[in-house]
């Protein structure tokens, strides 16, 4: 292929500099290689020719700093949630358990996202060894599973929290119906996620074109799951606002509560941003840098979702601490004694 391209150009076989700078020559050679060679042969050729031309592989690890910042924010929220349960004397319930499981899954997602940088994620695919490519794609499969699981657990935690604080009969019925729908939607999509390729391992083996198998159309599956996720997010955002308006609270507190719940809109925003990046990713593409936006926005979406799930439980802690400070440090300078009443979940 390279010889034919050189023959159709003004470059000689010995003039490497000319061959490297001739765009038409390289386009013809690349097209021929992709059409007639195996994926491994094409990658090997690309590795050799780029090395001869002095071209270093492109490396993009720009997703790591924001992921670190947001996972730290999410971890802090989880810790404060646990502290709030102790200080406000609220019992540990199912919403807290789901939140802890979501946090564990979210932290694992972050750890795996950092680990795969050593395998070559964000690096031009031709610069990665064949074994690492297979391992990389198998780890990518686990990341998809972690993302789906964490999203489900975060959403479940939020629904159970709503059940804990909104005690009207109508609200309870709607929330339990939402809880059931969340499971009904998650189970089939999780099943399809695992078995999207037949056999399962074909997901991480298909890149070299030398294995037999088949997979569903990833773009249609991603789009369908994304639309359902966005609809559920909007529902979970709107649901508490309808009941906050009816609470017998001063408008200032209603406004504060509404803003606190509305922070969850950032999860919706990150979900919307993430969708276009997923359609650009392919395990068989000859560039590995397309994976970075997918991992970045998926990680940010999970971290913000975890933070938002913890935020309403942290506010009572701040009120409790503020109340204690006012009791012990009154404006007139005189100290007061005594303890405030235990915080009740009905006061959310």
β-sheet bridge partners, residue 109? none
How many DSSP H helices and E strands does the chain contain? 13, 2
Quick one: CA torsion of 235, 348, 345, 268, rounded to 10 degrees? 30
For 69, half-sphere exposure in the C-beta direction (CA atoms, 13 angstrom radius) is: 7
Residue 229 counted as an annotated binding residue: no
Which tokens sit at 320? 């409790």
**Residue bearing tokens 């506010």:** 315
**Residue bearing tokens 């395998």:** 119
β-strands 197-198, 214-215: how paired?
antiparallel
Strands (E), 203-345: 214-215
Collapsing DSSP states into helix, strand and coil, what is residue 67? helix
Q: Yes or no: say if 99 and 312 are a contact pair by the CB < 8 Å rule.
A: no
SS3 content of the chain, % helix, strand, coil (to 5): 75, 0, 25
Which tokens sit at 245? 């308006």
Give the Cα separation of 101 and 111 in Å (integer): 15
Collapsing DSSP states into helix, strand and coil, what is residue 301? helix
Q: Yes or no: say if 65 and 295 are a contact pair by the CB < 8 Å rule.
A: no
| Residues annotated in a binding site for heme | 15
| Residues annotated in a binding site | 15
């Amino acid at each position: 292929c390279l010889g034919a391209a050189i023959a159709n150009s003004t470059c000689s076989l010995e003039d490497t500099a000319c061959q490297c700078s001739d765009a038409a020559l390289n386009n013809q050679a690349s097209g021929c290689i992709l059409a007639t060679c195996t994926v491994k042969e094409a990658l090997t050729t690309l590795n050799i020719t780029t090395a001869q031309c002095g071209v270093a592989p492109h490396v993009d690890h720009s997703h790591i700093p924001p992921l670190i910042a947001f996972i730290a924010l999410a971890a802090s929220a989880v810790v404060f949630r646990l502290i709030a349960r102790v200080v406000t004397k609220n019992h540990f319930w199912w919403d807290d358990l789901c939140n802890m499981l979501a946090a564990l899954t979210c932290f694992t997602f972050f750890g795996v996202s950092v680990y795969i940088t050593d395998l070559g994620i964000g690096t031009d695919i031709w610069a990665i060894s064949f074994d690492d490519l297979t391992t990389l794609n198998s780890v990518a499969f686990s990341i998809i599973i972690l993302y789906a699981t964490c999203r489900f657990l975060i959403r479940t935690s939020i629904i159970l929290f709503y059940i804990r604080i909104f005690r009207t009969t109508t609200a309870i019925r709607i929330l339990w119906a939402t809880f059931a729908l969340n499971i009904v939607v998650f189970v089939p999509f999780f099943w399809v996620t695992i078995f999207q390729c037949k056999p399962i391992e074909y997901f991480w083996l298909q890149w070299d074109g030398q294995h037999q198998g088949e997979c569903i159309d990833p773009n249609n599956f991603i789009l369908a799951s994304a639309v359902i996720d966005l609809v559920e997010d909007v529902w979970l955002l709107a649901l508490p606002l309808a009941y906050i308006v009816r609470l017998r609270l001063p408008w200032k507190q209603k406004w504060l509560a509404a803003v606190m719940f509305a922070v969850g809109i950032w999860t919706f925003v990150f979900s919307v941003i993430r969708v276009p990046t997923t359609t650009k990713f392919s395990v068989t593409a000859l560039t590995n840098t397309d994976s970075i936006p997918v991992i970045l926005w998926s990680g940010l979406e999970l971290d913000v979702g975890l933070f938002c799930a913890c935020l309403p439980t942290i506010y009572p802690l701040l009120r409790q601490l503020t109340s204690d400070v006012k009791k012990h440090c009154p404006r007139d300078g005189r100290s007061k004694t005594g303890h405030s009443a235990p915080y009740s979940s009905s006061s959310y």
